[in-house]
Amino acid sequence: MRLRIVLGWLVTALLVGAVLSFALGPFAWQLVTAFKPTEQLAQLPPLLPRQITFAHFAAVLTAPGFLRVGLNSILVATLAVLLAFVFGIPASYALAKLNLRFAGFLLASVLCFSMFPSIANVGPLYLLFIRLGIRDNIFAVVVAHSVYALPFTLWTLTNFFREIPDDLYRAARIDGCSHLGILRHIVLPLAAPGLASVGLLVFIFSWNEFLYALALTATERSRTLPVAIALFPGLHEVPWGEIAAASVLATLPTVALVLIFQTRIVSGLTAGAVKG
Amino acid sequence: MDLVLENIVKRFGDKLAVEIPSLTIRSGEFFTFVGPSGCGKSTTLNLIAGLETPSSGAIQLGGTMLNPLPPQKRNVAFVFQSYALYPHRTVRGNLSFPLELAGRARKEIQSRVEEVAGLLGIAPLLDRRPSQLSGGERQRVALGRAIVRQPKLFLFDEPLSNLDAPLRVQMRKELRRLHAQLDTTFVYVTHDQEEALSLSERIAVMRDGRIQQLGAPGELYDNPANTFVASFFGTPPMNFFEGEIASEEGGLFVRCRELHLRLKDASGTVPEKKKVHCGIRPEDVCLESKPAADALQAKVVSIEMHGGQCHVELELQGIRLTALTPARVACGKDDVVNVTLRSAQWRFFDPQSGKRIEI
């Protein structure tokens, strides 16, 4: 009996360890690399650096354009969230509560569009943005990201809005609200956890997105962090230390956001599973 | 400020939900729509509120056409079965919401909210949230939110159905008091016949989207227009059985199997169809303690105790009857008892159409 319990623990520990090393292993490697002096980078052992260096971080932070790129990333992700909300919130409200005849069909077709791999439409988008004259402009990336995030936004918000009982909408109408008033006074406050989790996930998606950002940008004027880091390797050498330091820096904002909104995300993603 | 419904028809797809040719709800009246679920009573209320639009017909309030107005412009208040309080607002926030939307001054809002809270006895709860309130308290807040804006019309959609029985009886009293105090038209929807009888000045009994009968509670109870209305009101429900009317020597008789009952001395008008549906209410089936001249012998099938009253199920020459006795009964199961039927209280209905026949 005891043996079984011990064995159970052992198996659990092994599996959790496997998952953790799979998920966190690359990040740990980056972390170690970021703090290793350059001359030790290609040596193994030692796994851990004998002395810690901040040279890579200093190099990255003082490199021309890096801060600009960081700012671009923050702007792109924030604007993508805002744009997804501007279109997603009213659309979801209509889909959830206005008894549209084709609501189900609309949601299904939106899901279909999101199934296209992004490589399939990056070419046309590229041409379109050149025609519009906004290539190498962060707004091109913002539009691409928010459009790509819209199906997810619509689906999640529609479900959140459906959770709000019909009688509340009816009561608000009787009390004197127009549809916009209901959105402002009833729906947005009540769906706040949903909005927080959707916003956060869209932010993280946009922050990490690579393909559109690579295709639609050309210079540091509009480049985002993942693209800039990928372009670090020079003609003759790959600056592993700087790449690692930049990656660690790029991870920090999302980790911080998730930690801050952690409880909200969980309550947001599970809301509606059971009536609370 | 009469509420007038004219030629109202509401269809959902092909299904007829409501059809009301003409109905006037008088100013200041406590008016109730009652009927089984799916009879169209709630839809009628939604049409008046503007939450649904009629397929055709007109709704007027005090001479103003309501049809083109959205719900927020109709100046009606609605109390929901689910209370529909805003969970993210405090009780005060819930009460002040309609006034804020109407753009009233802050001072006015505050004094009005406190006044209504005092009227309903919810002043100590003003800073709580709906989730911290009991069902009865929530219902009071919902009432308060309706009262606070001084509407021209109150609409209630089964407001007491989610409350437990003692609270429901108490809230009935409160509603009557409020109606007297506010002096505004109440339009009330319920499936509970007892609630309808005890609250209303007039009742419309609905079935399959149509009004079956319209009248004061006593009128509906005593003179139901058809078998549906007759069996809808009353606990236990009216007794029904098939019979035949005959004019014989000595008066008008009703015959049913072995039963031969004299209705009237005079030979009144005998209906064309002699076969009828006979109905008599349980309280008009009387158990006699001593043998009377016109008493019948019946066997007790079962006795149900309801506090001060009893429901006694009887077998009277092959006919099952329920009697409602005003006091405890001394008899037991399988006893044979003396029963009289109050002949003036018989009601007769056409077996085909269910409509009442005057005899």
* Model confidence pLDDT, tens digit, residues A56-106: 888 888 888 888 999 999 999 999 999 999 999 999 999 998 888 888 899
- Mean pLDDT, residues A108-127 taken together: 87
SS3 label, residue A230: helix
Whether A273 has a pLDDT exceeding 60, the answer reads no
Whether B290 has a pLDDT exceeding 80, the answer reads no
A174 to B86: CB separation less than 8 angstroms, yes or no? no
- Pairs of residues, one from chain A and one from chain B, whose beta carbons lie less than 8 Å apart: 53
- To test the contact with chain B by mutation, choose from A101, A163, A175, A186 the residue with the greatest count of B C-beta atoms within 10 A, namely A175
Which residue in chain A is spatially nearest to B74 when comparing CA positions? A174
Whether B140 has a pLDDT exceeding 60, the answer reads yes
- Mean pLDDT, residues B54-81 taken together: 93
Which residue in chain B is spatially nearest to A175 when comparing CA positions? B98
- Mean pLDDT, residues B105-115 taken together: 94
Give the HSE-up count for residue B81: Cα atoms under 13 Å, Cβ half-sphere: 12
Which residue in chain A is spatially nearest to B50 when comparing CA positions? A174
Please state, in angstroms and as integers, the Cα–Cα distance from residue A191 to each residue in A162, A164, A183, B151, B347, following that order: 10, 8, 10, 30, 58
Q: What is the pLDDT of residue A100?
A: 84
- To test the contact with chain B by mutation, choose from A174, A177, A190 the residue with the greatest count of B C-beta atoms within 10 A, namely A174
CA dihedral B119, B120, B121, B125 (to 10 degrees): -120
Rounded percentage of chain A residues whose pLDDT exceeds 70: 95
- Mean pLDDT, residues A41-57 taken together: 78
Q: What is the pLDDT of residue B332?
A: 84
Q: What is the pLDDT of residue A272?
A: 45
At A232-245, the pLDDT tens digits run 887 677 888 888 99
- For the four alpha carbons of A128, A129, A133 and A139, in that order, the dihedral sign comes to positive
Q: What is the pLDDT of residue B265?
A: 63
Please state, in angstroms and as integers, the Cα–Cα distance from residue A171 to each residue in B49, B132, B146, B152, B211, following that order: 10, 20, 10, 17, 27
Rounded percentage of chain B residues whose pLDDT exceeds 70: 97
Q: What is the pLDDT of residue A236?
A: 73
Which of A263-267, B96-100, B172-176 bottoms out in mean pLDDT, i.e. has the lowest? A263-267
Q: What is the rounded distance in angstroms from the CA atom of residue B77 to the CA atom of residue A162?
A: 24
Long-range contacts of B329-336 (CB under 8 A, 24+ apart): B329/B287, B329/B303, B330/B289, B331/B287, B331/B300, B331/B303, B332/B300, B332/B303, B333/B300, B333/B301, B333/B302, B333/B303, B334/B299, B334/B300, B335/B299, B335/B300, B336/B297, B336/B298, B336/B299, B336/B300
Q: For chain A, what is the radius of gyration of the CA atoms?
A: 23
The answer, for A263 touching chain B at a CB cutoff of 8 Å, is: no
Q: What is the pLDDT of residue A46?
A: 72
Q: What is the rounded distance in angstroms from the CA atom of residue A82 to the CA atom of residue A87?
A: 9
Taking CB atoms and an 8 Å cutoff, what residues of chain A touch B80? 167, 170-171
Token pair, residue B335, equals 């006893």
Q: What is the pLDDT of residue A112?
A: 87
Q: Tell me which residue in A168, A174, A176 faces B86 most closely, judged by beta carbons.
A: A168
Predicted model pTM? 0.81
A172 to B80: CB separation less than 8 angstroms, yes or no? no
B72 to A165: CB separation less than 8 angstroms, yes or no? no
Q: What is the pLDDT of residue A276?
A: 35
SS3 label, residue B3: strand
Token pair, residue B89, equals 């607002």
Whether A271 has a pLDDT exceeding 60, the answer reads no
Amino acid type, B248: E
The answer, for A162 touching chain B at a CB cutoff of 8 Å, is: no
Closest CA–CA distance from residue A273 to any residue of chain B (Å): 19
The answer, for B53 touching chain A at a CB cutoff of 8 Å, is: no
DSSP-assigned letter for residue B291: -
Enumerate residues 126 to 145 of chain A having a beta carbon within 8 A of any beta carbon in chain B: none
Q: What is the rounded distance in angstroms from the CA atom of residue B9 to the CA atom of residue B95?
A: 34
DSSP-assigned letter for residue B272: S
**DSSP structure string for A102-156:** THHHHHHHHHHHTTS-HHHHHHHHHHHHHHHT-TTSHHHHHHHHHHHHHHHHHHH
Most confident of A111-120, B80-89, B251-260: B80-89
Q: What is the pLDDT of residue A234?
A: 73
Q: What is the pLDDT of residue A10?
A: 94
The answer, for A181 touching chain B at a CB cutoff of 8 Å, is: yes
In sequence order, the β-bridge partners of residue B323 are: B312
Token pair, residue B158, equals 């089964």
Token pair, residue A258, equals 């998730």
Please state whether the peptide bond connecting residue B54 to the residue before it is cis, i.e. omega within 30 degrees of 0: no
Q: What is the pLDDT of residue A20?
A: 92
Q: What is the rounded distance in angstroms from the CA atom of residue B179 to the CA atom of residue B284?
A: 33
Q: Tell me which residue in A176, A178, A189 faces B98 most closely, judged by beta carbons.
A: A176
**DSSP structure string for A60-103:** HHHSTTHHHHHHHHHHHHHHHHHHHHHHHHHHHHHHHHS--TTH
Enumerate residues 29 to 68 of chain A having a beta carbon within 8 A of any beta carbon in chain B: none
Residue of A249, A213, A80 whose CA lies nearest to A153: A80
Amino acid type, B250: G
Token pair, residue B136, equals 């009865």
Q: What is the pLDDT of residue A275?
A: 38
- Cβ count near A108 (within 10 Å): 10
Q: What is the pLDDT of residue A89?
A: 95
Whether the CB-CB separation of B18 and B57 falls below 8 Å is answered with no
Q: For chain B, what is the radius of gyration of the CA atoms?
A: 25
Q: What is the pLDDT of residue B267?
A: 54
Q: What is the pLDDT of residue B246?
A: 79
Helical residues (DSSP H) of B103-253, grouped into ranges:
106-120, 135-147, 165-182, 193-199, 217-222, 227-232
Q: What is the rounded distance in angstroms from the CA atom of residue B2 to the CA atom of residue B187?
A: 12
Residue of B78, B32, B48 whose CA lies nearest to B201: B32
A173 to B72: CB separation less than 8 angstroms, yes or no? yes
The answer, for A171 touching chain B at a CB cutoff of 8 Å, is: yes
Taking CB atoms and an 8 Å cutoff, what residues of chain B touch A174? 49, 51, 71-72, 76-78
Q: What is the pLDDT of residue B41?
A: 95
Whether A154 has a pLDDT exceeding 80, the answer reads yes
Amino acid type, A40: Q
Taking CB atoms and an 8 Å cutoff, what residues of chain B touch A167? 80, 82-84
Whether A48 has a pLDDT exceeding 60, the answer reads yes
Q: Tell me which residue in B50, B87, B101 faces A175 most closely, judged by beta carbons.
A: B101
Q: Tell me which residue in A167, A175, A178 faces B82 most closely, judged by beta carbons.
A: A167
Confidence of residue B118 (pLDDT cuts 50, 70, 90): very high
Closest CA–CA distance from residue B145 to any residue of chain A (Å): 9
Whether the CB-CB separation of A181 and B70 falls below 8 Å is answered with no
ipTM of the complex: 0.83
CA dihedral A43, A45, A48, A54 (to 10 degrees): -20
Buried b (16+ CB within 10 A) or exposed e, A121-130: beeebbeebe
Burial of B203 per CB tally in 10 Å (0-12, 13-18, 19+): buried
The packing angle between helices A138-163 and A192-208, to 10°, is: 150
Confidence of residue B272 (pLDDT cuts 50, 70, 90): low
Q: Tell me which residue in B71, B88, B98 faces A189 most closely, judged by beta carbons.
A: B88
Across chain B, mean pLDDT equals 90
- What is the distance of C-alpha A148 from the center of its chain? 12
Q: What is the rounded distance in angstroms from the CA atom of residue A194 to the CA atom of residue A11?
A: 36
Whether A153 has a pLDDT exceeding 90, the answer reads yes
Residue of A217, A168, A213 whose CA lies nearest to A190: A168
Whether A274 has a pLDDT exceeding 50, the answer reads no
- To test the contact with chain A by mutation, choose from B42, B75, B82 the residue with the greatest count of A C-beta atoms within 10 A, namely B82
B72 to A185: CB separation less than 8 angstroms, yes or no? no
Residue of B99, B94, B160, B97 whose CA lies nearest to B129: B94
Enumerate residues 81 to 140 of chain B having a beta carbon within 8 A of any beta carbon in chain A: 82-88, 97-98, 101-102
At A215-237, the pLDDT tens digits run 999 888 889 999 998 888 876 77
Whether the CB-CB separation of A66 and A59 falls below 8 Å is answered with no
Amino acid type, B152: K
The answer, for B24 touching chain A at a CB cutoff of 8 Å, is: no
